[in-house]
Amino acid sequence: MFTEHDTGKKRHMLDGIDMTTLTWGEKTIMVRFDLQKGSQLPSHHHVYEQTGYLVSGHIRLTIADQTVEAHAGDSWCIPPDAPHEAIALEDSVALEVFSPLRPDYLP
């Protein structure tokens, strides 16, 4: 599947956090998250493996019992069912791939 850059529609997820589904296949989906400085993604977990890349900005990311400050160019992989949370320390953009495909993130 090929998806043009302006195909996805931005959806509001939480205060200061928007997501745009970029493309998907049978087993994965790629999503862009725009996070405003100060926004928080509360601790949660799910059955999906989640691989991320910070395109721009600075976030504090906690995965299970490890907390790191991620900067543009850093990446991570969150195992299925691992609790995780994030705080945007400045305006940030992250790309994330989920496997298996998340039907709730389809446009």
Query: What domains are defined for the chain?
Result: 10-102 (2.60.120.10)
Residues of the chain with pLDDT under 70: 1, 5-8
pLDDT score at 7? 66
pLDDT score at 2? 73
pLDDT score at 3? 75
Q: Long-range contacts for 20-26 (Cβ within 8 Å, ≥24 apart)?
A: 21/105, 21/106, 21/107, 22/95, 24/101, 24/105, 24/106, 25/1, 25/101, 26/101
What pTM was computed for the model?
0.93
User: Which among 35, 3, 32 is positioned nearest to 96, based on CA atoms?
Assistant: 32
- CA 90, CA 76: separation in Å to the nearest integer? 18
